[in-house]
Amino acid sequence: MGVDIGKFRHVAGFLSRTLLTRHEHFEGCPTFVFEQSREGFRSFVERLGEYVPLEQTIVLLEHTGHYHRLLEQYLLDLDITVYRVHVQKRVEGMLKTDKRDALSLANALYTQLELGAQVQDKMQLVRRIEPPTSAAAQLQGVMRHRYELGHMSTQYRNKLTAICDQLFPELVQVFRDPNLPTALAFRSAFPTPHAIGVASLGDLRAARQRTFPSDAQLLELQRLADTTIGVTDLDRQRGLVLEQGLLIKELQLVQQHLEDLRTAIVDIVQNCREGQILLSIPPIGPVQAATIIATIGNIANFAKACELKSYFGWAPRKKQTGVTMDRTNLSTRGVRPMKQMLFLMAARATTLDCEWARIYRRLLPRLCTYDEKTKEYRGKKKVLGRIAGQMASMIYALLKTDQETLSQVPPGETPPPPMLYDREAHRKHQEGSYCSLKPNTLPRKILQLPGKL
């Protein structure tokens, strides 16, 4: 069954071997229109029961923003199997109706699951959906909001820097960063160079935090204010002062919200099994762990580590034809915040005392070119990409092992503690004593053959 998602109503298309035999073509199969409401969902499920028992029903939804989430949650609560597919693009020149779209989704689901057909484009592959874990359900909206607030904070800081460059460009000679709390306090109390120049030393001391700026720096600030090259047009100056005051208040509010979100994120991550596992890996902190948990949702949705890395956006894209073209780079797909976070985690890991840093130092001479002029290696991003890929595979292995452990715990019993990252085991894996986390897997040793004589 395929469901074409809309804002106020949905269209469901029914398809089965019996219906195809009766109608001969999938476009002739029946459809059903229902509203985005409790009554509409109930009538949809009742219509499903008229065709087949609910436990034998499979529903395919398009990933269209957030409109599909309510129906998806309702179906999962009823233990109905739900699959999801990326938004499909209609071939130009063909009819475009909600009924046809719903039946096309049902036909794609029937073709892949019942007939076992393979698709060339991974964007057309249907994937089964498991509901997100408790921690992921809490963090998904929180991390998205934090991501947006981070961009807003950067925009406000850039605007305040631009205003400072026009009103009082010499301010940075005393305050290296004009957007730090101390500098913002001065800019709020004395918005113009003239206000700083005519203020008494006692008033300037009252605006500072602790002992910065010192009395000598305050006097230097007044001297700079008297000789500034900033805007002198009073009308333009009034507009900049008004904008600066509002931006400072908005920036402080955003920063307070970011701090509140961080407190909530730390509390959620530290009290869930996924968070405890991720925090045990050296470069991962609470924010990084929350980003991973929110992005994954449920590790059961990924059958292999390569699927998780591809979802993170850490999948190679190769272009090769003949001998004239042979390029490999990262795909532009994937979840952008997670892709950025994975790169930052890999870069941070190389500066710590951990196994990732040891791998980084070992791979630099092999994968990079040494520049005699700068005394540095060139092409370090290739090594960072290798480490980020291994890190994603380790995250998958630990989370998947914990998910399989929880699935074997009888209801009502206390699950065992999660398996955390072990640096000693990681070191042994790199030295050749690899031991797979999969059950019934024989240990393998990596042998180093002697070099050529």
Banded model confidence at residue 315, pLDDT cuts 50, 70, 90: confident
pLDDT digits (tens, 9 = 90+) for 276-314: 999 999 999 999 999 999 999 999 999 889 889 988 988
Last residue of a domain, one of 129, 152, 172: 129
For residue 451, tell me if it sits in a domain.
Answer: no
Q: How many domains is the chain built from? A: 3
Cα 335 from Cα 329, distance rounded (Å): 17
For residue 453, tell me if it sits in a domain.
Answer: no
For residue 450, tell me if it sits in a domain.
Answer: no
Sequence-distant (≥ 6) Cβ neighbours of residue 131 within 8 angstroms: 73, 76, 137, 298
pLDDT digits (tens, 9 = 90+) for 217-267: 999 999 999 999 988 899 999 999 999 999 999 999 999 999 999 999 999
The answer to whether 251 touches 157, Cβ cutoff 8 Å, is yes
pLDDT digits (tens, 9 = 90+) for 146-176: 999 999 999 999 999 999 999 999 999 999 9
Q: With a cut of 70, say whether residue 448 has pLDDT above it.
A: no
What does each C-alpha distance from 234 to 167, 197, 198, 334 come to in angstroms?
A: 11, 16, 17, 50
The answer to whether 131 touches 298, Cβ cutoff 8 Å, is yes
Q: Which pLDDT belongs to residue 87?
A: 79
> DSSP 3-state assignment of 376?
strand
Cα 396 from Cα 137, distance rounded (Å): 19
Q: At what angle do helices 286-296 and 336-349 cross, to 10 degrees?
A: 140
Give the residue among 12, 135, 124, 18 at the shortest CA–CA distance from 74.
12
pLDDT digits (tens, 9 = 90+) for 20-51: 889 888 888 999 999 999 999 999 999 988 88
Q: What is the pTM of this model?
A: 0.85
Torsions phi, psi of 316, nearest 5? -75, 145
Q: Which pLDDT belongs to residue 94?
A: 61
Last residue of a domain, one of 129, 152, 181: 129
21/114 same-domain check: yes
Q: Which pLDDT belongs to residue 339?
A: 92
Q: Which pLDDT belongs to residue 452?
A: 57
120/159 same-domain check: no
The answer to whether 2 touches 100, Cβ cutoff 8 Å, is no
313/233 same-domain check: no
For residue 39, tell me if it sits in a domain.
Answer: yes
Among the ranges 14-18, 258-262, 367-371, which has the highest mean pLDDT value?
Answer: 258-262
Banded model confidence at residue 449, pLDDT cuts 50, 70, 90: low
Q: With a cut of 80, say whether residue 64 has pLDDT above it.
A: no
Banded model confidence at residue 319, pLDDT cuts 50, 70, 90: confident
Q: With a cut of 80, say whether residue 393 has pLDDT above it.
A: yes
Cα 104 from Cα 116, distance rounded (Å): 16
The answer to whether 129 touches 84, Cβ cutoff 8 Å, is yes
For residue 452, tell me if it sits in a domain.
Answer: no
294/387 same-domain check: yes
Domain that holds residue 348: 273-445
Buried/exposed 341-351: b ≥16 CB within 10 Å, e otherwise: bbbebbbbbbe
Cα 357 from Cα 83, distance rounded (Å): 40
* DSSP H or E segment with residue 207: helix 201-207
Q: Which pLDDT belongs to residue 390?
A: 92
User: What percentage of residues in the chain have a pLDDT greater than 70?
Assistant: 94
Banded model confidence at residue 442, pLDDT cuts 50, 70, 90: low
Q: With a cut of 60, say whether residue 453 has pLDDT above it.
A: no
213: cis peptide before it, omega within 30°?
yes
Banded model confidence at residue 445, pLDDT cuts 50, 70, 90: low
Place of tokens 């007939």: 115
Q: With a cut of 80, say whether residue 90 has pLDDT above it.
A: no
96/147 same-domain check: no
- Listing from the earlier edge strand, what are the strands of the sheet with 9-13? 31-35, 9-13, 2-4, 58-62, 81-85, 127-128
The answer to whether 393 touches 385, Cβ cutoff 8 Å, is no
pLDDT digits (tens, 9 = 90+) for 321-352: 877 777 777 777 888 899 999 999 999 999 99
For residue 75, tell me if it sits in a domain.
Answer: yes
